[in-house]
Amino acid sequence: MSLKLHDFDKRLSDYGLPEPQNSTTELERALLQYDPNEQRILLEHLNSITPNTNEQKHIFDYVMNEINNHNTSLIFIQGFGGSGKTTLAKKNLAASRSSGILCLGCASTGLAATNYENFDTAHGLFKYPVNEDDDDNEDQENICKFYEHPERYELLQHAQVIIWDEFPSNNKDIFETVYHQLNNLQDKVIVCMGDFRQIAPIINNGDRQEIVNASIQSSPLWQHFTILHLTINMRLLQSNVPCIQQQDFADLLIAIGEGLHLNKDADMQSWDKISGEQSYVLSNVPFVLTEESAIELIYPNAVIDPQQSKERVFLAISNKDVDSWNSKIQQLNTNNEVSLISKDTLSEVDDPHGILNEMLSEDILHQFNNNSSPPHELKLKVGDICIITRNIAKQQGLANNARVIINNIQRFCISVYFRNIENY
Protein backbone atom coordinates (compact mmCIF):
# COMPACT_ATOMS: atom_id res chain seq x y z
CA MET A 1 0.00 0.00 0.00
CA SER A 2 1.40 3.40 -0.97
CA LEU A 3 0.76 6.67 0.85
CA LYS A 4 -1.16 9.37 -0.95
CA LEU A 5 -0.39 13.03 -0.50
CA HIS A 6 -4.00 13.94 0.15
CA ASP A 7 -4.00 11.60 3.16
CA PHE A 8 -1.89 14.21 4.96
CA ASP A 9 -3.91 17.25 3.85
CA LYS A 10 -7.07 16.49 5.79
CA ARG A 11 -8.06 18.94 8.52
CA LEU A 12 -10.88 18.92 11.06
CA SER A 13 -12.57 21.73 9.12
CA ASP A 14 -12.89 19.34 6.15
CA TYR A 15 -15.37 17.40 8.27
CA GLY A 16 -17.31 20.41 9.53
CA LEU A 17 -15.46 20.56 12.87
CA PRO A 18 -13.68 23.62 14.33
CA GLU A 19 -9.89 23.66 14.26
CA PRO A 20 -8.28 23.49 17.76
CA GLN A 21 -6.72 26.69 19.05
CA ASN A 22 -3.05 26.99 20.04
CA SER A 23 -2.38 23.36 19.11
CA THR A 24 1.04 22.01 18.20
CA THR A 25 2.07 19.07 16.09
CA GLU A 26 4.27 16.18 17.19
CA LEU A 27 7.14 17.72 15.25
CA GLU A 28 6.75 21.12 16.92
CA ARG A 29 6.65 19.54 20.36
CA ALA A 30 9.69 17.41 19.64
CA LEU A 31 11.72 20.40 18.44
CA LEU A 32 10.98 22.25 21.69
CA GLN A 33 11.41 19.26 23.99
CA TYR A 34 15.14 19.49 24.71
CA ASP A 35 17.22 22.52 25.63
CA PRO A 36 20.69 22.38 23.99
CA ASN A 37 22.44 23.82 27.07
CA GLU A 38 20.81 21.25 29.37
CA GLN A 39 21.84 18.46 27.00
CA ARG A 40 25.42 19.75 26.98
CA ILE A 41 25.46 19.63 30.78
CA LEU A 42 23.95 16.12 30.70
CA LEU A 43 26.70 14.94 28.34
CA GLU A 44 29.39 16.32 30.65
CA HIS A 45 27.72 14.57 33.60
CA LEU A 46 27.55 11.23 31.79
CA ASN A 47 31.20 11.50 30.78
CA SER A 48 32.23 12.32 34.33
CA ILE A 49 30.49 9.38 36.00
CA THR A 50 31.22 6.81 33.25
CA PRO A 51 34.23 7.86 31.16
CA ASN A 52 34.46 6.18 27.77
CA THR A 53 36.82 3.29 27.22
CA ASN A 54 38.93 3.42 24.07
CA GLU A 55 36.47 1.30 22.10
CA GLN A 56 33.50 3.31 23.40
CA LYS A 57 35.24 6.54 22.39
CA HIS A 58 35.88 5.11 18.92
CA ILE A 59 32.19 4.23 18.49
CA PHE A 60 31.00 7.53 19.97
CA ASP A 61 33.25 9.54 17.63
CA TYR A 62 32.23 7.45 14.62
CA VAL A 63 28.51 7.95 15.28
CA MET A 64 28.90 11.69 15.90
CA ASN A 65 30.95 12.08 12.73
CA GLU A 66 28.16 10.48 10.71
CA ILE A 67 25.58 12.72 12.40
CA ASN A 68 27.53 15.97 12.09
CA ASN A 69 28.27 15.30 8.42
CA HIS A 70 24.56 14.67 7.73
CA ASN A 71 25.31 11.25 6.25
CA THR A 72 22.84 8.52 5.48
CA SER A 73 24.10 5.73 7.72
CA LEU A 74 22.98 2.42 9.15
CA ILE A 75 25.00 1.41 12.24
CA PHE A 76 24.70 -1.66 14.43
CA ILE A 77 26.48 -1.80 17.79
CA GLN A 78 26.98 -5.41 18.91
CA GLY A 79 27.60 -5.87 22.61
CA PHE A 80 26.63 -8.27 25.38
CA GLY A 81 24.77 -7.15 28.49
CA GLY A 82 26.90 -4.85 30.61
CA SER A 83 29.13 -3.61 27.80
CA GLY A 84 27.80 -0.05 28.02
CA LYS A 85 25.43 0.16 25.04
CA THR A 86 22.73 2.10 26.91
CA THR A 87 25.13 4.66 28.39
CA LEU A 88 26.83 5.15 25.03
CA ALA A 89 23.47 5.72 23.34
CA LYS A 90 22.53 8.31 25.97
CA LYS A 91 25.81 10.14 25.30
CA ASN A 92 25.18 10.17 21.55
CA LEU A 93 21.66 11.46 22.16
CA ALA A 94 22.83 14.22 24.52
CA ALA A 95 25.65 15.26 22.17
CA SER A 96 23.29 15.41 19.19
CA ARG A 97 20.55 17.29 21.02
CA SER A 98 23.08 19.79 22.37
CA SER A 99 23.53 20.82 18.73
CA GLY A 100 19.78 21.08 18.12
CA ILE A 101 19.56 17.81 16.20
CA LEU A 102 16.18 16.06 16.29
CA CYS A 103 16.59 12.54 17.74
CA LEU A 104 14.04 9.79 18.31
CA GLY A 105 14.37 6.43 20.03
CA CYS A 106 12.69 3.06 20.39
CA ALA A 107 13.30 -0.45 21.70
CA SER A 108 11.84 -3.85 20.98
CA THR A 109 9.88 -3.91 24.28
CA GLY A 110 8.21 -1.39 26.54
CA LEU A 111 10.41 -2.45 29.44
CA ALA A 112 13.61 -1.82 27.46
CA ALA A 113 12.24 1.58 26.41
CA THR A 114 12.06 2.66 30.07
CA ASN A 115 15.89 2.71 30.17
CA TYR A 116 15.70 5.97 28.23
CA GLU A 117 13.74 9.18 28.32
CA ASN A 118 10.82 9.45 25.88
CA PHE A 119 11.53 6.17 24.09
CA ASP A 120 8.73 4.08 22.62
CA THR A 121 8.49 0.53 21.35
CA ALA A 122 9.48 0.01 17.72
CA HIS A 123 5.88 -0.88 16.93
CA GLY A 124 4.66 2.29 18.65
CA LEU A 125 7.18 4.70 17.15
CA PHE A 126 6.66 3.54 13.58
CA LYS A 127 2.96 2.72 13.93
CA TYR A 128 3.57 -0.86 12.85
CA PRO A 129 0.62 -3.09 13.84
CA VAL A 130 1.06 -5.77 16.48
CA ASN A 131 -0.46 -9.11 15.53
CA GLU A 132 -2.08 -10.77 18.53
CA ASP A 133 -4.39 -13.14 16.69
CA ASP A 134 -2.70 -15.95 14.77
CA ASP A 135 -5.55 -15.94 12.26
CA ASP A 136 -4.72 -12.39 11.25
CA ASN A 137 -1.05 -13.02 10.54
CA GLU A 138 -1.55 -14.36 7.04
CA ASP A 139 -3.66 -11.42 5.87
CA GLN A 140 -1.79 -8.68 7.75
CA GLU A 141 -0.18 -6.24 5.35
CA ASN A 142 3.36 -5.19 6.25
CA ILE A 143 2.90 -1.46 6.48
CA CYS A 144 3.44 1.34 8.99
CA LYS A 145 0.06 3.03 9.33
CA PHE A 146 1.32 6.55 8.68
CA TYR A 147 -1.84 7.35 6.73
CA GLU A 148 -3.66 7.19 10.06
CA HIS A 149 -0.96 9.24 11.84
CA PRO A 150 0.17 12.10 9.56
CA GLU A 151 1.85 13.97 12.42
CA ARG A 152 4.01 10.94 13.24
CA TYR A 153 4.96 10.63 9.57
CA GLU A 154 5.99 14.29 9.54
CA LEU A 155 8.02 13.80 12.72
CA LEU A 156 9.85 10.77 11.35
CA GLN A 157 10.57 12.55 8.09
CA HIS A 158 12.35 15.38 9.94
CA ALA A 159 14.18 13.18 12.46
CA GLN A 160 17.92 13.09 11.78
CA VAL A 161 18.88 10.41 14.32
CA ILE A 162 17.00 7.30 15.45
CA ILE A 163 18.32 5.02 18.22
CA TRP A 164 16.88 1.48 18.14
CA ASP A 165 17.70 -0.70 21.18
CA GLU A 166 17.34 -4.50 21.38
CA PHE A 167 17.24 -4.40 17.60
CA PRO A 168 17.90 -8.15 16.97
CA SER A 169 14.69 -9.08 18.81
CA ASN A 170 12.48 -7.35 16.24
CA ASN A 171 11.36 -9.11 13.09
CA LYS A 172 13.23 -7.96 9.99
CA ASP A 173 9.85 -7.09 8.40
CA ILE A 174 9.54 -4.08 10.71
CA PHE A 175 12.87 -2.55 9.69
CA GLU A 176 12.38 -3.33 5.99
CA THR A 177 8.97 -1.67 6.09
CA VAL A 178 10.30 1.39 7.89
CA TYR A 179 13.23 1.59 5.48
CA HIS A 180 11.06 1.60 2.36
CA GLN A 181 8.25 3.81 3.68
CA LEU A 182 10.68 6.46 4.92
CA ASN A 183 12.47 6.93 1.59
CA ASN A 184 15.25 4.43 2.32
CA LEU A 185 16.04 6.44 5.47
CA GLN A 186 17.81 9.10 3.42
CA ASP A 187 19.70 11.76 5.42
CA LYS A 188 19.22 9.83 8.65
CA VAL A 189 21.66 8.10 10.99
CA ILE A 190 20.07 4.94 12.37
CA VAL A 191 21.96 3.53 15.37
CA CYS A 192 20.76 0.03 16.24
CA MET A 193 22.04 -1.88 19.26
CA GLY A 194 21.75 -5.32 20.77
CA ASP A 195 23.24 -8.77 21.12
CA PHE A 196 22.48 -11.55 18.66
CA ARG A 197 23.29 -14.05 21.40
CA GLN A 198 20.17 -12.99 23.26
CA ILE A 199 16.47 -13.18 22.34
CA ALA A 200 15.77 -13.81 18.65
CA PRO A 201 12.55 -12.67 16.90
CA ILE A 202 9.51 -14.52 18.20
CA ILE A 203 7.73 -16.70 15.64
CA ASN A 204 4.65 -18.47 16.95
CA ASN A 205 5.27 -22.22 16.67
CA GLY A 206 8.19 -21.43 14.37
CA ASP A 207 11.09 -23.80 13.83
CA ARG A 208 14.75 -22.81 13.86
CA GLN A 209 14.83 -21.95 10.13
CA GLU A 210 11.77 -19.68 10.40
CA ILE A 211 13.33 -17.83 13.32
CA VAL A 212 16.59 -17.39 11.41
CA ASN A 213 14.65 -16.10 8.39
CA ALA A 214 12.95 -13.50 10.61
CA SER A 215 16.30 -12.12 11.80
CA ILE A 216 17.59 -8.85 10.42
CA GLN A 217 20.73 -10.73 9.41
CA SER A 218 18.62 -12.55 6.81
CA SER A 219 17.54 -9.26 5.26
CA PRO A 220 19.22 -7.91 2.11
CA LEU A 221 19.47 -4.61 3.98
CA TRP A 222 21.89 -6.09 6.52
CA GLN A 223 24.79 -5.67 4.10
CA HIS A 224 24.35 -1.88 4.33
CA PHE A 225 25.02 -1.80 8.10
CA THR A 226 28.34 -0.78 9.60
CA ILE A 227 29.01 -3.24 12.46
CA LEU A 228 30.78 -1.91 15.58
CA HIS A 229 31.65 -4.01 18.63
CA LEU A 230 31.70 -3.48 22.39
CA THR A 231 33.75 -6.23 24.04
CA ILE A 232 34.54 -5.03 27.58
CA ASN A 233 32.26 -6.04 30.47
CA MET A 234 31.82 -2.71 32.27
CA ARG A 235 29.85 -4.28 35.12
CA LEU A 236 32.75 -6.49 36.06
CA LEU A 237 35.21 -3.60 35.84
CA GLN A 238 33.06 -1.47 38.16
CA SER A 239 32.36 -4.28 40.65
CA ASN A 240 34.04 -4.13 44.05
CA VAL A 241 33.43 -7.85 44.56
CA PRO A 242 36.19 -10.34 43.64
CA CYS A 243 35.10 -11.31 40.18
CA ILE A 244 37.20 -14.27 39.08
CA GLN A 245 34.16 -16.54 39.29
CA GLN A 246 31.97 -13.84 37.75
CA GLN A 247 34.40 -13.48 34.85
CA ASP A 248 34.44 -17.23 34.30
CA PHE A 249 30.64 -17.29 34.26
CA ALA A 250 30.50 -14.30 31.86
CA ASP A 251 33.01 -16.00 29.56
CA LEU A 252 30.95 -19.20 29.66
CA LEU A 253 27.76 -17.37 28.65
CA ILE A 254 29.53 -15.68 25.74
CA ALA A 255 31.03 -18.96 24.59
CA ILE A 256 27.61 -20.65 24.69
CA GLY A 257 26.15 -17.76 22.72
CA GLU A 258 28.88 -18.11 20.12
CA GLY A 259 28.43 -21.88 19.94
CA LEU A 260 32.07 -22.36 20.90
CA HIS A 261 31.71 -24.03 24.30
CA LEU A 262 31.06 -27.74 24.31
CA ASN A 263 30.38 -29.61 27.51
CA LYS A 264 33.28 -32.06 27.85
CA ASP A 265 31.12 -34.41 29.89
CA ALA A 266 28.28 -34.46 27.37
CA ASP A 267 27.59 -37.41 25.13
CA MET A 268 28.34 -35.86 21.76
CA GLN A 269 26.29 -38.56 20.04
CA SER A 270 23.18 -37.16 21.77
CA TRP A 271 23.98 -33.53 21.01
CA ASP A 272 21.32 -32.17 18.66
CA LYS A 273 23.29 -30.21 16.06
CA ILE A 274 20.09 -28.99 14.39
CA SER A 275 18.51 -27.39 17.45
CA GLY A 276 21.84 -26.74 19.17
CA GLU A 277 20.52 -28.16 22.43
CA GLN A 278 23.06 -29.33 24.99
CA SER A 279 23.14 -29.61 28.77
CA TYR A 280 25.68 -27.71 30.87
CA VAL A 281 26.74 -28.04 34.47
CA LEU A 282 27.47 -24.56 35.79
CA SER A 283 30.13 -24.50 38.48
CA ASN A 284 29.54 -22.40 41.64
CA VAL A 285 25.81 -22.21 40.87
CA PRO A 286 23.53 -23.76 43.54
CA PHE A 287 20.84 -26.17 42.44
CA VAL A 288 17.85 -27.71 44.17
CA LEU A 289 15.83 -30.89 43.76
CA THR A 290 12.60 -30.10 45.64
CA GLU A 291 10.12 -27.21 45.79
CA GLU A 292 10.78 -26.75 49.51
CA SER A 293 14.54 -26.33 49.02
CA ALA A 294 13.91 -23.96 46.10
CA ILE A 295 11.71 -21.73 48.25
CA GLU A 296 14.27 -21.82 51.07
CA LEU A 297 17.03 -20.80 48.63
CA ILE A 298 15.11 -17.88 47.16
CA TYR A 299 13.34 -16.84 50.38
CA PRO A 300 15.57 -17.79 53.36
CA ASN A 301 13.74 -18.52 56.62
CA ALA A 302 10.42 -18.40 54.75
CA VAL A 303 10.37 -14.60 54.94
CA ILE A 304 9.52 -12.26 52.05
CA ASP A 305 11.85 -9.30 52.32
CA PRO A 306 10.83 -6.74 49.65
CA GLN A 307 14.36 -5.40 49.46
CA GLN A 308 15.69 -8.86 48.54
CA SER A 309 12.64 -10.23 46.75
CA LYS A 310 12.60 -7.44 44.16
CA GLU A 311 15.73 -9.05 42.69
CA ARG A 312 14.43 -12.64 42.72
CA VAL A 313 11.93 -14.54 40.65
CA PHE A 314 10.89 -18.06 39.66
CA LEU A 315 10.58 -18.83 35.96
CA ALA A 316 7.89 -21.33 34.97
CA ILE A 317 6.86 -22.71 31.59
CA SER A 318 3.07 -22.89 31.97
CA ASN A 319 0.24 -20.97 33.61
CA LYS A 320 -0.45 -23.99 35.82
CA ASP A 321 3.12 -23.92 37.16
CA VAL A 322 2.97 -20.15 37.62
CA ASP A 323 -0.23 -20.42 39.65
CA SER A 324 1.23 -23.24 41.76
CA TRP A 325 4.43 -21.36 42.61
CA ASN A 326 2.60 -18.08 43.21
CA SER A 327 0.27 -19.81 45.66
CA LYS A 328 3.16 -21.30 47.64
CA ILE A 329 5.17 -18.07 47.75
CA GLN A 330 2.13 -15.99 48.65
CA GLN A 331 1.58 -18.14 51.73
CA LEU A 332 4.80 -16.65 53.13
CA ASN A 333 3.11 -13.23 53.13
CA THR A 334 1.30 -12.86 56.47
CA ASN A 335 -1.03 -10.06 55.32
CA ASN A 336 -4.71 -10.74 54.71
CA GLU A 337 -5.66 -12.18 51.34
CA VAL A 338 -8.09 -10.24 49.14
CA SER A 339 -10.05 -11.95 46.35
CA LEU A 340 -10.84 -9.89 43.27
CA ILE A 341 -13.62 -11.37 41.13
CA SER A 342 -13.99 -10.78 37.39
CA LYS A 343 -17.18 -9.53 35.78
CA ASP A 344 -19.50 -12.35 34.66
CA THR A 345 -20.67 -10.68 31.45
CA LEU A 346 -18.97 -9.59 28.26
CA SER A 347 -18.88 -5.87 27.53
CA GLU A 348 -20.94 -4.50 24.64
CA VAL A 349 -17.85 -3.75 22.59
CA ASP A 350 -16.82 -7.43 22.76
CA ASP A 351 -20.33 -8.82 22.21
CA PRO A 352 -22.47 -6.11 20.52
CA HIS A 353 -25.34 -8.48 19.65
CA GLY A 354 -25.34 -10.46 22.89
CA ILE A 355 -24.66 -13.73 21.09
CA LEU A 356 -21.76 -14.83 23.28
CA ASN A 357 -23.65 -14.01 26.47
CA GLU A 358 -26.36 -16.44 25.43
CA MET A 359 -23.84 -19.16 24.56
CA LEU A 360 -21.45 -18.91 27.49
CA SER A 361 -22.49 -19.76 31.04
CA GLU A 362 -20.93 -18.20 34.13
CA ASP A 363 -19.09 -21.46 34.84
CA ILE A 364 -17.40 -21.35 31.45
CA LEU A 365 -16.42 -17.71 31.91
CA HIS A 366 -14.98 -18.50 35.33
CA GLN A 367 -12.74 -21.19 33.82
CA PHE A 368 -11.31 -18.88 31.16
CA ASN A 369 -7.55 -18.63 31.73
CA ASN A 370 -5.87 -16.97 28.78
CA ASN A 371 -2.21 -15.91 28.84
CA SER A 372 -3.15 -12.27 28.33
CA SER A 373 -5.74 -12.00 31.12
CA PRO A 374 -5.88 -12.78 34.86
CA PRO A 375 -8.00 -15.66 36.22
CA HIS A 376 -11.61 -15.21 37.30
CA GLU A 377 -10.56 -15.04 40.95
CA LEU A 378 -7.38 -13.08 41.48
CA LYS A 379 -5.98 -13.43 45.00
CA LEU A 380 -3.63 -10.68 46.18
CA LYS A 381 -2.10 -9.43 49.42
CA VAL A 382 -0.57 -6.12 50.37
CA GLY A 383 3.18 -6.63 50.07
CA ASP A 384 2.96 -9.09 47.17
CA ILE A 385 5.53 -8.51 44.45
CA CYS A 386 3.90 -8.69 41.02
CA ILE A 387 4.94 -8.31 37.40
CA ILE A 388 2.86 -6.09 35.11
CA THR A 389 1.74 -8.01 32.02
CA ARG A 390 0.91 -5.10 29.71
CA ASN A 391 1.97 -1.50 29.14
CA ILE A 392 0.08 0.92 31.39
CA ALA A 393 2.25 4.07 31.46
CA LYS A 394 5.60 3.51 29.75
CA GLN A 395 6.87 7.02 30.45
CA GLN A 396 6.42 6.41 34.19
CA GLY A 397 8.03 2.98 33.94
CA LEU A 398 4.82 0.95 34.31
CA ALA A 399 5.54 -1.24 31.31
CA ASN A 400 5.24 -4.91 30.47
CA ASN A 401 7.48 -7.03 32.77
CA ALA A 402 8.06 -4.18 35.26
CA ARG A 403 8.08 -5.37 38.87
CA VAL A 404 5.90 -3.64 41.49
CA ILE A 405 4.87 -4.12 45.12
CA ILE A 406 1.17 -4.10 46.05
CA ASN A 407 0.57 -1.12 48.34
CA ASN A 408 -3.20 -1.01 48.71
CA ILE A 409 -6.13 -3.07 47.40
CA GLN A 410 -9.54 -1.52 46.85
CA ARG A 411 -12.62 -2.78 45.06
CA PHE A 412 -11.84 -1.22 41.68
CA CYS A 413 -8.28 -0.05 42.15
CA ILE A 414 -4.88 -1.43 43.15
CA SER A 415 -2.06 0.95 44.07
CA VAL A 416 1.56 -0.16 43.81
CA TYR A 417 5.09 0.91 44.60
CA PHE A 418 7.37 1.21 41.60
CA ARG A 419 9.74 4.14 41.50
CA ASN A 420 10.39 3.93 45.23
CA ILE A 421 10.62 0.14 45.33
CA GLU A 422 14.32 0.53 46.20
CA ASN A 423 13.38 2.30 49.44
CA TYR A 424 10.36 0.16 50.28
Domain boundary among 183, 204, 231: 231
Give pLDDT, residue 110.
86
Residues 49 and 184 in one domain: yes
Are residues 225 and 322 located together in one domain of the fold? no
CATH number of the structural domain spanning residue 191: 3.40.50.300
pTM value surpassing 0.85: no
Radius of gyration of the chain (CA): 25
Q: Which string of DSSP letters, residue by residue, matches 291-305?
A: HHHHHHHHSGGG---
Please say whether the beta carbons of 161 and 187 come within 8 A.
no
Report strand pairing: 385-387 vs 403-409: antiparallel
Both 32 and 171 in a single domain? yes
With respect to residue 272, please indicate whether it lies within any of the assigned structural domains. Answer: no
pLDDT tens for each residue of 173-200: 999 999 999 999 999 999 999 999 888 8
**How many alpha carbons fall within 13 Å on the CB side of residue 249?**
11
Asked if 415 contacts 386 with a C-beta cutoff of 8 angstroms, the reply is no
Are residues 194 and 337 located together in one domain of the fold?
no
Q: How far apart are the first and last CA of the chain?
A: 51
At 341, the pLDDT band (50, 70, 90 cuts) reads confident
User: Considering the domain boundaries, does residue 366 fall inside one?
Assistant: yes
The residue from 215, 231, 247 where one domain ends is: 231
By the 8 A CB rule, do 315 and 300 touch?
Answer: no
Q: Helix and strand tally (H, E) in the chain?
A: 16, 11
CA distance 314 to 24: 47
pLDDT band, very low/low/confident/very high, at 8 (cuts 50, 70, 90): very low
The secondary structure element, H or E, covering residue 163 is: strand 161-165
Name the band, by pLDDT with cuts 50, 70 and 90, for residue 10: low
Is residue 207 located within the same domain as residue 320? no
Quick check: is 403 in a domain? yes
Asked if 207 and 297 sit in the same domain, the reply is no
Query: Are 215 and 330 members of one domain?
Result: no
Domain enclosing residue 350, as ranges: 291-423
Domain count of the chain?
2
* Average pLDDT of the segment spanning 80-99: 93
Domain assignment of residue 275, yes or no: no
Q: How far apart are CA 373 and CA 351, in angstroms?
A: 17
Does residue 279 belong to any structural domain of this protein? no
| Residue 285 resides in a domain | no
Q: Check: CB of residue 417 under 8 Å from CB of residue 408.
A: no
pLDDT tens-digit readout, 149-165? 999 999 999 999 999 99
Please state at what angle helix 150-158 crosses helix 26-33, rounded to 10 degrees: 40
